[in-house]
Amino acid sequence: MKFKIYIFFLVATLLVSCSDLLTEEPTSFISPSEYFNTVDECKAALFGVKNYLSNQYINEKVFILTSELGTDVSYMRELDQWTCQNYNLEVNYDWLNESWLAFYKAIGSANMVVNRVGKAEIDEDEKADIVASAKFFRAYYYFNLSNYFGAVPLWLDELDVDEVSILGRSSVSEVRSQIIQDLKDGEEILPSVRNSDETGLPTKWVAKALLSKVYLFNEEWENARDKAAEIINESPHSLLSSYNDIFDVENERNKEIIFCLDQIQDIAGSQIHTNASPRPKDEPKFSGSDHYFNGWGMLCAQPSYVNSFADDDSRKYMSNFSTAEADDGTIYDLKFIYYYKWNILGEPKNNGDRDIIIFRLADFYLVYAEAENELNGPTQEAYSMINRVRQRAFGDDLHNLSGLDKETFREAIMDERKWELGGEGYRRWDLNRWGKLVEAVQSSADANPIGAANVKVHHILFPIPDVELEKNPNLLPNNPGY
């Protein structure tokens, strides 16, 4: 903890110099040119790159809301408040502008660390680890940025503001090729485990996890399957016996979690629990407490999603916070359905200890099953992987899948990912890569009638923000449909 606090305050001064890379000349009382002289300074800069994960537009509340709202899984209690849910995307909004800037500030910080640490006169093994870690973060930021916007400017060096502001867009293929190269470098160098002073830095298994996902999105099925197999068979990670235990705030960084954003109350407290908790205005019988039922109710589970679970599927509970007991013992139905997996009733608003899971092992059982089916149809290996996830969910093997053809197995994977990962920030990107977004949103018209009426095929990508197009005409043309 002492090292983390030291890092927090040390890097705060450095980040002043790289937080405005896209808008103005860096200034700080600690100049980057005077930094990167010791391992501790280089690690502090790396933690600065990592700390962008806590930005709400990159991997916290806004990113999760963007990834879930307007799908067939989650919705917001007031439909007209979030444009990615109602698919009114032809007009730019602050969340989209801020997301673009946040990702590029993070990428600029990563580029600085890769460049400066690569030239630093420090221990070569330490240098290699720090550079590989920075490349992982750069890859992660570019992966999500390209999922948002498709073709985006690709820059890897330290560039001044004039150079950055005239860059054109590189294709998704070019961006993902660079991501793959960064991750291949990392999986050979990064350690298998991290000590407590390095909490939140990537391991080789984290690099392999993102690499498997990139291959999956590229439909490079064999590579996606093989990387998933390495994680399943060789990593120190294992499935927990209880689905509920994955999300227990007292059981964070458990064996199933490959990578997470570590949040610390009063230092970098999480916000997602506040967004996923009931709002007193909606649930007045439970208002009056500083912490209990004092959220915003912005991330709710759709009733049709909850009803799609089998009654004996243990995963249903974690997405079905729909009743509560009053002080007099009366059980009330809540107006909306909330996610237990995100709630921490009793913690202050926007200042929680809930870590945010980025990769967990069950995801890669399903990656393996999907990729194997696309390669060879529903083989025994594909059934083994999906059924291992279902066996935990049901507590037996009576619900194992069998007798499916390639298409029905593909549909089963789509459902299984929904039930296993719903509300966690995956659904929009899965629907996009399957070409199922419009169908899914229209099937959810009861919960999201505005979105069902508005959604179009081109909404699989967001528009490049108008403000960026005005600053840099080389970003034109905008994505189709905008």
pLDDT, position 28: 39
Give the pLDDT band of residue 267 (cuts 50, 70, 90): confident
Confidence of residue 92 (pLDDT cuts 50, 70, 90): low
Amino acid 294: pLDDT: 78
C-alpha 339/C-alpha 311 separation (Å) is 17
Decide which of 95 and 160 is more confident: 95
Q: What end-to-end distance do the CA atoms of the chain give, in Å?
A: 47
- Per-residue pLDDT, 216: 98
List, for residues 60-73, the tens digit of each pLDDT value. 889 999 999 999 99
Say what the pLDDT of residue 163 is.
81
Q: What confidence category does residue 18 fall into, taking pLDDT thresholds of 50, 70 and 90?
A: very low
Q: DSSP label at 464?
A: P
Q: Rounded to an integer, what is the distance from CA 41 to the centroid of its chain?
A: 28
| Structure confidence by residue, pLDDT tens digits, 20-43 | 444 433 333 456 566 899 999 999
Q: How confident is the model at residue 290 (pLDDT cuts 50, 70, 90)?
A: low
Using a pLDDT cut of 70, give the percent of the chain over it: 91
Please state, in angstroms and rounded to a whole number, the distance separating the CA atoms of residues 321 and 203.
Answer: 34
Could you give the 3-state DSSP secondary structure of residue 241? Answer: coil
Q: What is the pLDDT of residues 399-432, one digit of tens each?
A: 999 999 999 999 999 999 999 999 999 999 999 9
Give the separation between CA 124 and CA 128, rounded to whole angstroms. 6
Exposed e or buried b per residue across 447-462, where buried means at least 16 C-beta atoms within 10 angstroms of its C-beta? bbeebbebbeeebbbb
pLDDT of 276 above 80 = yes
Cβ(400)–Cβ(276) under 8 Å? no
Per residue, the 3-state secondary structure of 48-96, as one string, reads HHHHHHHCCCCCCHHHHHHHHECCCCEECCCHHHCHHHHCCCCCCCHHH
CA 280 from chain center: how many Å? 28
Give the per-residue pLDDT at 282: 87
pLDDT score of 353 more than 90: no
The pLDDT value given to residue 293: 80
**Given pLDDT bands bounded at 50, 70 and 90, which one contains residue 291?**
low
Q: In the predicted model, what is the mean pLDDT of residues 141-155?
A: 97
The whole-number pLDDT of residue 405 equals 98
**Which residue matches tokens 């649930």?**
283
pLDDT tens per residue across span 423-478: 999 999 999 999 999 999 999 999 999 999 999 999 999 999 999 999 999 999 99
Among 482, 363, 362, 357, CA closest to 430: 363
Which residue type does 379 have? T
For residues 379-389, give the mean pLDDT.
Answer: 98
Q: pLDDT per residue over 222-249, tens digit each?
A: 999 999 999 999 999 999 999 999 999 8
- C-alpha dihedral over 303, 304, 306, 311, to 10 degrees? 120
Give the integer Cα–Cα distance in Å for 426 and 402. Answer: 26
Give the residue range(s) of CATH 1.25.40.890 domains in the chain: 2-190+462-475
Cα–Cα distance between 322 and 475 in angstroms, integer?
A: 45
Query: What is the band of 394 on the pLDDT scale with cuts at 50, 70, 90?
Result: very high
Cβ proximity of 46 and 134 under 8 Å: yes
Mean pLDDT of 81-95: 84
CATH class, range 2-190+462-475: mainly alpha
Predicted local distance difference test score (pLDDT) of residue 48: 95
Least confident of 188-192, 208-212, 281-285: 281-285
Helix (H, G, I), strand (E, B) or coil at 322: strand
**Residue 2, pLDDT above cutoff 60:** no
Looking at residues 288-311, what average pLDDT do you find? 86
Highest mean pLDDT among 49-63, 65-79, 106-120: 106-120
pLDDT of residue 5: 40
Tell me if 472 sits within 8 A of 152, measured CB to CB.
Answer: no
Lowest pLDDT segment from 83-87, 135-139, 234-238, 438-442:
83-87
Average pLDDT score, the chain:
89
Pairing mode of beta strands 356-360, 300-301:
unpaired
Amino acid at 364: F
Spatial separation of the C-alpha atoms in residues 145 and 139, rounded to whole Å: 10
